[in-house]
């Protein structure tokens, strides 16, 4: 069996620090074959940098995905062509990087696909359903001997994520939602062997607002004037992930286990 760990949105330095603290032991205990994490908030809550990527790689993350904040660090765009990180496949065609990749593991190959939703999102993205169909059609899955297909659907609307599950059901190993930073209670395996969760959650400050200091967020709601996002350096942090068990011969998921850990930095 293949064991693949997918870590929810990593928020800022305190999130990266927590991944480095928890992941090595978890990886060893569960004998994990592949670690994937959404890193689009890893550079102080907005985008990624070469430094944050290398820090997460050192902690034991193999591949990274992203979302609507993928290109917020405008001086760091080259990382999408140089580092093991994806940007959403249905972004504009002329942006750096790639939206999917084939990952070699000891027990087989995993196709990792990064998509972004369109409902309630600020940018005008291409259709994730059409893009997924295009990717799957262009891949000769049998000749490539792919053991697992993992989708990160970075989206706001639960209906869009669930619809993508039904669209891809039985054709992929897992459809995993990111973006809202709150782990949902609907992790399951469909009758056709696709693992699903609406949102994996986050690795970030747990007593704030989605990993951001709550005072500024509340003031933004009260005044409608956007306040700076401040990420705490101390306090309780939550680590959210899901552990997938996949049959490499069939590509079907046998188990999806939500992982929740907490750390407190005084």
All structural domains of the chain, each given as residue ranges with its CATH number in brackets, are 2-206+235-265 (3.60.21.10)
pLDDT of residue 123: 78
pLDDT of residue 139: 73
pLDDT of residue 13: 96
Asked if 91 and 70 count as a contact pair (C-beta separation under 8 A), the reply is yes
CA angle 13, 16, 18 (to 5 degrees): 110
pLDDT of residue 224: 95
Query: What are the per-10-residue average pLDDT scores of the chain (266 residues)?
Result: 97 97 97 97 90 97 95 89 96 93 93 96 91 87 79 97 98 97 98 98 96 93 94 96 96 97 96
In 3D, which of 75, 78, 100 has the Cα closest to residue 89?
A: 100
pLDDT of residue 140: 61
Pairing of strands 34-38, 63-65: parallel
pLDDT of residue 52: 96
Whole-angstrom Cα distance, residue 107 to residue 64? 20
Q: How many CA atoms lie within 13 A of 263 on its CB side?
A: 19
pLDDT of residue 199: 98
pLDDT of residue 44: 87
DSSP string, 3-58: EEEEE-EE-HHHHHHHHHHHHHHHHHHHT-SEEEEE-TTTTTTSS--HHHHHHHHH
Residue positions annotated with a catalytic role: 69
pLDDT of residue 239: 98
């Amino acid at each position: 069996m293949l064991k693949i760990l997918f870590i929810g949105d990593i928020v800022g330095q305190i999130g990266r620090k927590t991944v480095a603290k928890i992941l090595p032991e978890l990886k060893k205990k569960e004998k994990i074959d592949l670690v994937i994490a959404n890193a689009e908030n890893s550079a102080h809550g907005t985008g990624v940098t070469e430094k944050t990527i290398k820090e997460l790689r050192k902690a034991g993350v193999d591949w990274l995905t992203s979302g609507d904040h993928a290109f917020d660090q405008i001086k760091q765009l080259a990382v999408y062509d140089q580092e093991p990180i994806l940007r959403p496949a249905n972004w504009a065609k002329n942006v750096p990087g790639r939206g999917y990749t084939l990952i070699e593991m000891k027990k087989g190959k995993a196709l990792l696909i990064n998509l972004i939703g369109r409902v309630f999102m600020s940018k005008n993205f291409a259709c994730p359903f059409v893009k997924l169909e295009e990717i799957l059609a262009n891949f000769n899955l049998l000749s490539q001997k792919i053991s697992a297909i993992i989708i990160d659907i970075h989206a706001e609307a639960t209906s869009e994520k669930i619809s993508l599950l039904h669209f891809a059901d039985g054709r992929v190993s897992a459809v995993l939602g990111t973006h809202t930073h709150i782990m949902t209670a609907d992790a399951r395996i469909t009758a056709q062997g696709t693992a699903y969760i609406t949102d994996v959650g986050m690795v970030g400050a747990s007593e704030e607002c989605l990993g951001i200091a709550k005072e500024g967020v509340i003031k933004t709601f009260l005044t409608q004037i956007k306040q700076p996002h401040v990420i705490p350096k101390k306090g309780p942090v939550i680590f959210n992930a899901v552990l997938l068990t996949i049959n490499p011969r069939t590509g079907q998921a046998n188990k999806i286990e939500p992982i929740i850990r907490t750390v407190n930095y005084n």
